Each structure stands twice: as structure tokens, then as C-alpha cells.
Structure 1
Amino acid sequence: MLRRLLPAIALVTLITPSLAAAQPLGFTAIPDEDETRLQQRFQAVADYLAETLEVEVRFIPVTSYAASVTAFRNNQVQLAWFGGFTGVQARQLVPGSRAIAQGVEDPEYKSYFIANQRTGLEPHSGETAPEGLRDLTFSFGSQSSTSGRLMPEYFLREHLGASPDELFTRVGFSGNHSRTISVVQSGAYQAGVVSYKAWENELEAGNIDLDRVQVIWETPPYPDYQWTVRGDIDERFGEGFTERLQQALLDMDDPDLLASFPRAGFIPAVNEDYQEILEVAQSLGLLD
């Protein structure tokens, strides 16, 4: 009996690691721009990671910021390109998860407040949000967006002393930065707030008519986007995989790949880099 069992045990020993290696690495990204662009933006990133790490990598698009957190929590993805707030949410839901990399620009991120030209608002260079925003209609982006909701709302409360519902005659949530620009440019909302990166992208793409919409204020800086991995990823792909993955992200230097984010490059990140985001979210009642 023992002789018959030994070959079977040896076969299991050989097969188990290969099955682990065959598991795909799933990653997602918050849909901060038009969802139709996500697959195009990130499929090349998946291909780069697959070649570098020698594992199958699948990009899994999602339709909302909340869905990206849910996919991470449910282990549908093990890696995510999160905003500051969604990253904090995900790491709270999945203990042991780690922020491992951020864009060169992300420690000093910012938002642009924008206004339809018909409001008559002029660009404001002060350190506090402009008083002229009061009593306008106003659009945020996603309810879970760091640059399109969380930090702008914090600055509005701190600088103007009132909640958005008290400040504005109507408050909306467009879902992403591209739509916020669109609804303010069209006049559906008089003002709004967007990621400065999204504004620059849309401007470069020719999607912004500066005769109809303009930036009126730039927020103080705050930490934002980052790559976050589940704490159990090494169990899935082998000891040391987290460090290999981090290095692959830090080594990414192809201009076309970096343009997917867009970032000049990536630098190391740790969970503590986002303590400010955690505290702001708690102060606004968005986290337990």
C-alpha cells in the first residue's frame, strides 16, 4: 500500500506548485475617466506585468469606485490602482493589505475647482476656496473619489464653514472626472471639482472648450493614488512575490505605459502615507 501511495504523493507535490503558478493575477483600477477607455489604458500594463513576473495577469474593469473596492475585498483581484480614499477603504476591509507604490506626483496631488464661464467667476489664487462658489449648482465626481469629492469637500467645509448641501443650491455626483468636466462645460452644473490630471488629459485631448469652462481654484496638496496589494498575495504566488511585484512597478519606465495613469514614474509607498486621507474620511463620517 505504501509503495502505491508514494508515487501519488510525489505527483501531488509536483502538481500543486504548478497549479498555484497557473492562477492569474487579477488587477483593477478605479474608473476615474470614461469607462470605455479603461481596457485600452490598462491592458498594456497587464501585458507588461505578465512578462516581467512570468504569471498570467488579467485586467478586470469595473464600473464604479465602490466596485473596485468590492472586487478587492472579494479576492476577485489581488492588485488595484486605487485613489487615496478607495485604497484606505480596501485596506481596512482586507487586513494585511499594503500600499506598495505611488506615482511620483501622488504625494503632492491636487484638485481643480472649475466653473462655467457664464457664472462670471474669475480664477482665484488665494489659499482658501473662493466665496463666489456659494449658491451655485455644483458637481462632484464619484462619491468615493479622493480628488473629486473627499478632499474638495474637506476644503470647502474648512474654508467656507459649511457643508456642500448648505453651500450649493444643488449638489450632484457625476461618477467620474470626465463627466464632471462635461456637465460643467455644458452648463448642466455651474461649477464642479476634478483631478488636475484628468483636467490636463481632457485639455490635451481637445475635449475642453476654454471659452465655456475654466479652472477657478487649485486646492492645497494631499496624497492620492497608489497601488495596493492583498496581504495574502504571497500565499497565492509564492514567497517574495509582493516584493517582485513592487519592483516591477517601480521599474516601469515605458512612456506609453506610464501615460496610462498618467505618471512620470512610480516610487515606493506605505500605508502610513495615507494617514491624512484616513483622518479626513473619518472626520466626514465616510469611514467607521
Structure 2
Amino acid sequence: MLQLSRVMLSVTLFLSVSLTVQAESFTFTAIPDADASRLQERFDKVADYLSAELGVDVKYIPVKSYAAAITAFKNNQVQLAWFGGLSGVQARRLVANSEAIAQGYEDQLFKTYFIAHHSAGLTAANTFPTGIQGKTFTFGSKGSTSGRLMPEFHIRESLNVAPEQAFTRVGFSGDHSQTIAQVQAGAYQIGAVNYQVWETERANGKIDPTTGSGIWSTPTYPDYQWTIRGDVDARYGENFKARVTQALLNMSDPDLLASFPRQSFVPASNQDYAPIENTAQAIGLLD
């Protein structure tokens, strides 16, 4: 009788632990690179999709800044994140065995647009724009790949000076939508913006061609990616990382993909982002 009681207790404890593990939410976040309401709508849909594919409760947790996204990932407040190239590199350096597992098809060959208010007197060119010095300039977020890292790299490479020496005033708008708004309003004469955000806002009629236009596109580079913590299998079950990866790669709903906007997701690896890490080290953005 005592032996039977012990067996029953063991079964009860096992079921209790199993149910706790199964009930634990899988959480993810994303860098706040655009209007918060649009991000919430986009990633709530992604959470619903992943919940159905993985059979676990999946929640999207919004954050206020790129740094906050990295911190949430580091502290295991989220286990998956939609990072930019630079923020992904920074996050993976902080969490052992974390991996880039998927990127948008377009993220293999991403680019930054330099945009200008008409008061700058600049026109579109195929090479780094001449006459850019002495104007006012705004980046996006300080941690943005397309809004800060790559444009700063090309400014330094082309002008042989830091942005603060090249321009009369340098700002950081916080996100790509704000960069466009500030340049359109003339608050800054020139800005650096994610080309996808610019093209989307132009297609939606939010760009006034009489006040601003694109003047240069950088060479391509790898950018956004999904990065996952290395300990998810231990926490959520064997092969969980592989299942998350496959769910992202299998995402085919046109509405879901259009919200990014991406035509599909393709495999990614940490090595894909070595050029971003090297560039960040070259201009002093990584220790």
C-alpha cells in the first residue's frame, strides 16, 4: 500500500510538472522600428500564428527601444526576437548559444536610403551624394542597422570624418517613420531610413514628393532576422528550436508576410551577420 502511494505521488508530481511546462508561455519581441500601433497589430498576428503551429501559448511583448529589446532577450523575458542586423549581433554576444534562425528573403540584400528635404538642394545620384556636408542630418535609432550603423559607415568612408564633423547638427529620430516625418517637415535636411519603410509609406501615399525625396541608396547588406535563445529546448521540450524555425520558414499567409513586408522567410545563421559585426567594430559600436 505504501509502495502504491509513492507511485501515485510520483505520477501526480510528473503530471503537475508536465502541465506547468506545457502551460508556460513562449514570448517574443521586436525592435521598435516603426509606429507602435502598427507593430502591435503585426506581431499579435504572428503570435496567433506561432501559437497554432507550436501548440503553446505565444505572446508578443512590445518594448520601447532597441536597447530594451536586447535587454529583454538577455534577461530571458523573451526567448525569440525580431532584431535588426546590429541589435541581433549585440543580443547574441550576450546570450550563449543563441542563434539567428530565419531572415526575410529581402534581408539578404537590404539597403538604406538617404532622403532629403527640398531645401537641401540635392538630387538623386548613383554614388554617395556630393554637397551633403554642412547640412543637418538625422539617423533613426542609435541601435539601428539601416538607420544608423550602415549610413554612419558610409559617411565616414566617403567623407573621412565623423558625422558630427560632417554636419551642422546630427539627430536620432528614434525610428524610421519619425525620420521620414522629420525630413518631410524640414526639421532635418537629410535622413537615413530603412528602404522598406520608405517604399511602404510612399505606396500608402504618406510621402509628399514636393517636400522630400530619396537621393542615394547604399550598397546591400544583411539585416533583420529572427534570433532565438539557446536554452529553449531545455525549457520548452526537445526540438523546440527546430519547430520554431520551421514555423517561421513555413509562414506563407500573404497578409502576415505583407505586414513585415517580406515575400517569405529563409534560413539564417550567425555567420551571415559577420559583416555587420565587423562594420560595427570598425566604427566603435561594439566593445
| CA distance in 2 between partners of 1:137 and 1:20 (Å) | 53
2:69 is matched by which residue type in structure 1?
S
1:6 deviation in Å?
Answer: 2.5
Please state whether the residue corresponding to 1:130 is helix, strand or coil. Answer: coil
1:3 deviation in Å?
Answer: 4.2
CA deviation digits over 1:128-160, x for unaligned, max 9?
A: x21211010000000000000001101111111
CA deviation digits over 1:34-86, x for unaligned, max 9?
A: 11221111111110010011110001111111111111111111010000000
- Which residue of 1 is the match for residue 173 of structure 2? 174
- Which residue of 2 is the match for residue 36 of structure 1? 37
| CA distance in 2 between partners of 1:205 and 1:167 (Å) | 33
Runs of 4+ in 1 over 2 A off after TM superposition: 1-6
> In the comparison of the two structures, how many residue pairs are matched?
286
Q: Which moved more, 1:10-19 or 1:209-218?
A: 10-19
Q: Say whether residues 1:93 and 2:100 are aligned partners.
A: no
Instruction: Work out the percentage of aligned pairs sharing the same amino acid.
Output: 56
CA deviation digits over 1:210-238, x for unaligned, max 9?
A: 11000000000000000000000111110
- Which residue of 1 is the match for residue 247 of structure 2? 248
| CA distance in 1 between partners of 2:80 and 2:279 (Å) | 24
**For the Cα contact (< 8 Å) 1:121–1:216, is it kept in 2?**
yes
1:5 deviation in Å?
Answer: 2.6
1:202 is matched by which residue type in structure 2?
E
| CA distance in 2 between partners of 1:236 and 1:213 (Å) | 50
Please state whether the residue corresponding to 2:138 is helix, strand or coil. Answer: strand
| CA distance in 2 between partners of 1:133 and 1:178 (Å) | 22
- Which residue of 2 is the match for residue 14 of structure 1? 15
Please state whether the residue corresponding to 1:131 is helix, strand or coil. Answer: coil
**For the Cα contact (< 8 Å) 1:79–1:230, is it kept in 2?**
yes
Please state whether the residue corresponding to 1:132 is helix, strand or coil. Answer: coil
1:172 is matched by which residue type in structure 2?
G
Gaps of 5+ in 1: none
| CA distance in 2 between partners of 1:18 and 1:100 (Å) | 28
- Which residue of 2 is the match for residue 80 of structure 1? 81
Please state whether the residue corresponding to 2:131 is helix, strand or coil. Answer: helix
| CA distance in 2 between partners of 1:261 and 1:227 (Å) | 12
1:4 deviation in Å?
Answer: 3.2
**For the Cα contact (< 8 Å) 1:123–1:216, is it kept in 2?**
yes
1:97 is matched by which residue type in structure 2?
S
| CA distance in 2 between partners of 1:73 and 1:138 (Å) | 32
Q: TM-score, normalised by structure 2?
A: 0.98
2:243 is matched by which residue type in structure 1?
R
2:99 is matched by which residue type in structure 1?
R
| CA distance in 2 between partners of 1:17 and 1:206 (Å) | 51
**For the Cα contact (< 8 Å) 1:137–1:168, is it kept in 2?**
yes
Matching of residues 1-288 of structure 1 within 5 Å: 2-126=3-127, 129-288=128-287
1:89 deviation in Å?
Answer: 0.6
**For the Cα contact (< 8 Å) 1:131–1:160, is it kept in 2?**
no
| CA distance in 2 between partners of 1:158 and 1:120 (Å) | 23
1:2 deviation in Å?
Answer: 4.5
| CA distance in 1 between partners of 2:52 and 2:66 (Å) | 28
Q: Which moved more, 1:199-208 or 1:184-193?
A: 199-208
**For the Cα contact (< 8 Å) 1:26–1:58, is it kept in 2?**
yes
Q: TM-score, normalised by structure 1?
A: 0.97
Please state whether the residue corresponding to 1:105 is helix, strand or coil. Answer: helix
